[in-house]
Structure formats: C-alpha cells, structure tokens
Amino acid sequence: MSTTATSTATSTTGGRRRRPALPAALRGRRGRTGAVLVALVVLLGLLGPLLLPADAYQQGREALAGPSWSHPLGTDEVGRDLLARALYGVRIELLVCLLAVPAAAVLGTLLGLLGGLNRLLGEAVQRLFDLLLGFHGLLLGLAIALIVRPGLGSVVVTVVLSALPAFGRQARAALLAQLARDHVVAAKVLGVPRARTLRRYVLPNVTDAATALLAVAMAHAAKIEGGLSVLGFGIQPPTPSLGTMINTGSKYLFLHPGYALAPVLLLGLLVFGLTLLADSFNREKLR
C-alpha cells in the first residue's frame, strides 16, 4: 500500500525533481556577485592573518602611525597593526555567523515543525516568537549583555534569539503548506506512515525554505555583532572585532581615517554580499 502511495504522490508532482537551491541561485548575476563578495571577505579573514607578518595583538612604539610597508593601514592607539586586527575581526564575524545562525536554524525549524504538528504546542511557540519579535536585535543584545557580561557568548545568544522566529515561522508555514498538498493527503489516506511522509515529501521543502533564510540571517548576525560592538556591549577588547574597531576608530576619524573606514568597508562588503545572496535565493524560490 505504501508503494502505491509513493507512486501516487510521484505522479501528482509530475515526477519533477526540485532544483537544488544553491546552484540555481548562483546562476544569476546577483547570486554570483554576492558569492564573490562573501568569498573575498572570507578568504581575507582566513588567509590574511596567516600571510601578514604583524600580529593582531602585538603592541608597538608607533601609536596611530600612518600607512607604511610594515603596517599597510597604519597602527592603532597602542601601536597594533590595523590591517591584521581588521582581518582578524572578520574571523570574529564569521565565527558569530557560523555558530549562531545554524543553531538558530536548527532550533527554530524544530520548534516550527513541532508547533505545526501539535496545536497546543504551536500556540506556545507562536507566543514565544511574538515575544522575541517585540525586541529589536540591538535592544535584545543590550538586555542580554546586562544580564550576563558582554562578549562573544552574549552576541551569539542574541543572534540565536533574534533569528529564531524567522526560521520557526518559515518552517511552520512550509509544513502546513505541504501537509495540504494532494500527494501528502493521498499518502495519508493510503496508510503511509506519517514519519515516512514527513521525511520524503515535507522535510525537503522545509529545508529549502530554511536555506533561503540562511544568508538573510547571517547578514543580520553581522549587523548585530557590529552594532553591539560599536555600542561597547559586544566583543570586548583586546579581542579585535570590526564593530570594536569602528567604535574606537571613530574617536580618531580625522586624525587616522583608515582606523574606522577599513572595518566599515569589510563589514559592508560582507553584509552586502550576504544580502545579494539572500535576494538571489528568494528570487529562485519564487520561480
């Protein structure tokens, strides 16, 4: 009977294979441009500190020195190499994105699916999402930093909680939409086990919906980390982060413009590239 249901479901969908979201999204100009920008920033963050002779934490005698062969962007207020610190700051941004966003995706998708399968649990999950949506990411980060101490941990928790509602609501909406499809209803009528129906016909579409949100969430995560660090509630010195460098460099903007402008440029390229990727994913999803 389950074999009949499988063939019925396949015929209902026309036997078409879904195109993988990532390769399809990268075929467009926006997707390619976004991928190139993100790859460039990632390579700079990963390889830059390994190739530079200067250390991000090494202090020197030349404070706020201008660009030179030994320090291409100059030095900060205690003589540390600005280029090395900016590239190391990219690593912090990537660490936040790669720690917090996948955690939010998994937890949010799980809560959304459970809420879609159980009415009472769904109400509780929706109220939790409404509560989290009532706080702006930076306000939520400030509250968390006041409860615990500012640092990488509080930034990661802030990003996870901020991204949770988007992944959860997207997963719940995708689940309910798929449960109403003819092939899923046919499988249920013909007695196909619910777990098999969810695994074969529902979860792949839910996964595609979550994938389209990853780039958006990563761009949002980078902005949250940068914003909290600029306000002094994110990554704390002496650990270099782009937001911290922007915060400190703004005090020397006229004396040493490269201090703040370099991290602004790197953060802007990362967010812009991720935004282009997200837009390309969404365009492909609507086709």
H, E, C per residue of 113-143 = HHHHHCHHHHHHHHHHHHHHHCCCHHHHHHH
Residue 16 vs residues 13, 55, 93, 283: alpha-carbon distances, Å: 7, 54, 39, 20
In this prediction, residue 25 has a pLDDT band, given cuts at 50, 70 and 90, of: low
| DSSP-assigned beta bridge partners for residue 81 | 75
- Which residue matches tokens 């990362």? 270
Gap between the Cα atoms of 151 and 135, Å rounded: 20
Gap between the Cα atoms of 170 and 16, Å rounded: 23
Predicted pLDDT at 159: 94
249, 259 Cβ separation under 8 angstroms: yes
Q: How confident is the model over 2-23, as pLDDT tens digits?
A: 444 444 444 344 334 455 555 5
Give the pTM. Answer: 0.82
**What mean pLDDT value characterizes the chain?**
83
Closest CA relative to residue 114, chosen from 33, 70, 202, 175 = 175
> How does DSSP classify residue 96?
H
Q: How confident is the model over 243-287, as pLDDT tens digits?
A: 999 989 988 988 888 898 999 999 999 999 998 888 887 766 655
- Which residue matches tokens 């993100």? 38
